[in-house]
Amino acid sequence: MKRAFLAPGLLLILVAIGGRYTLDRAGLLDLAWVDLRVIGLVVALVVLGISAGFKERATVDREGWLVAALLFFLFQIASSLWAPPAARVGPQTVDLVLLGVLVVAFYRYSLSGPERVVRFTFQLFFVAAIVYALAAIFVSGPGEQGRYSAFGGGPNVFARIEVLGVISAVALFMLTGRVVPLLVIPLFLLATVLSGSRGTLLAGGVVGFAALLKLRHRLSGAAIAAAGLVAVVAAGAVWALAPPEFTDLFQERFVEQTVQEQYLSGRTDIWMAAADMFIDYPIAGSGVDGFYGLIGVNQAVEYPHNYVLAVAAEGGLAGLGLLTTSIVLWTRIVRGGGERPQLTGLAVAATVFVALSGLFSGDYYDSRLAWMFAGLAAAAALVPARSADRAPVMAR
C-alpha cells in the first residue's frame, strides 16, 4: 500500500519535470507526435484513482483559490475565440488543459497525506537536480551559447530544477536533521551558474534572502556562523570543481553582458511590447498566444518572457483579475503556515521561487511547478493534523 501511495506522486512529478517531452527529443523522429505528458497523466490518474480506494483522503474547505485558478485556465482557453489567426491556439490549449489536470491531480494527491507528500516531493527534486546536473556537465555539455542544460531542455528550465535542488537540500536537512543533503548544494550552484540563467539566480537569491530575514530571530550565533561557513565552502567548491568553461561563461554572461553592457537579452523591448499590447486590448486581451500571433511571429519571439505581462497582454483585466483572485485566496490560506508551518513554509518557498523565475522567462506551461507547489502548500496548511504532526520534525 505504501508503494501504491507513492506511485501517483512519482508519475505526476516526472510529468512536471519532463515538460513537453515528445519522442523526437529521444531521437525517434517518426514518433514526434507522441506527447508523453498525456500518457504520463493518464497513467498517473489511473494509479491515483486506485490508491484513493486504499487510503482515506482528507476533505477540506477553502478551495476557492483552486476554483479561481481553474476558471483562469478556462478563460485562457476560451480566449482562443478572439486570438489572432497566427496564434498557435491548438498547442496552447493542450498545454493549458494538461496544466489544469496536473495541478488538480497533484493537489488532490497531496491531501492524502501532506507530511509524506512534502518529504517525498523534495526527495524526488533533490535526486532530479543531481541527475540533471551530472547529465549537463558530463553528457550534454555547453550549447551554442556556452550555456548548459540537460535532456534536450532549455537552460532556464534546467536552472530552475537546480535551484529547486538547493531548496530541497535545505528542506531535507530541516525535516531529517541530516547534513548530507547540504553537501550537494555546491553541485547545484555550479550547474545553475553554468546554465547562464540570470533571472533564475536572481529569483533564488531573493527567496533565500527572504527566508533568512524571516528566520533571523530563530537563528543562533552558531547557526549563522555555520551558514556562513557552508556558503564559503560552497563557493570554494564551485570554483574548484568548475570546468574550464565556467570562468569564460561567468565573465561573459554575468560580468560583461549584465554589469558592463547591461544587456538583458532583449527582455526590456519584449516586455514593453507586451505592455503596449495590454494597452491596446485592456479588457479581455488579445487572446491566447496573441503576443506571438501579432508580434512574435514577425520578430521570432515565442512569448513575452514574463508570466504576468503575458496574462495582461493576452487576457487583459479579466485574466489578471482571475489570476489575482487565485493568488490572494491562496495567500490567505498559507499565511502563517496553517496546520504545518514548517512544511507549508518550505512549499511556499518553492512556489515563490518558480513564480519569480516566471517573471524573466517561460510560457504558461512553464509555470506548472509553481502551481503544483502552491497546491502542496495549501494541502499542508489545510489538512487537519494529528497532535504529533504539529511538532517540528527535527524535534522528534
* Domain ranges across the chain: 1-56, 62-395
Residue with the three cell numbers 497532535 = 387
Q: What is the CA radius of gyration of the chain?
A: 21
Alpha carbon distance 300, 308 (integer Å) = 21
DSSP state of 386: P
Count of alpha carbons within 13 angstroms of residue 261, beta-carbon side:
11
Number of neighbouring beta carbons within 10 Å of residue 169: 24
Residue 289's alpha-carbon distances to 80, 268, 307, 334, 365, in angstroms, are 8, 19, 12, 32, 12
Reported pTM: 0.86
- Residue-level pLDDT, tens digit, the chain, 396 residues: 444 467 888 899 999 998 877 666 666 666 666 788 888 888 888 888 877 655 555 556 788 999 999 999 999 999 999 999 999 999 999 999 999 999 999 999 999 889 999 999 999 999 999 999 999 988 888 777 778 888 878 888 999 999 999 999 999 998 988 889 988 998 898 899 888 888 898 999 899 888 878 776 665 566 666 666 666 776 676 666 666 665 565 555 554 555 444 445 568 889 999 999 999 999 999 999 999 999 988 887 888 999 999 999 999 999 999 999 999 999 999 998 888 899 999 999 999 999 999 998 889 999 999 999 999 999 999 988 664 344 444 433
- Residue of 336, 284, 340, 293 lying closest to 314 (CA atoms): 284
SS3 letters across 44-79: HHHHHHHHHCCCCCCCCCCCHHHHHHHHHHHHHHHH
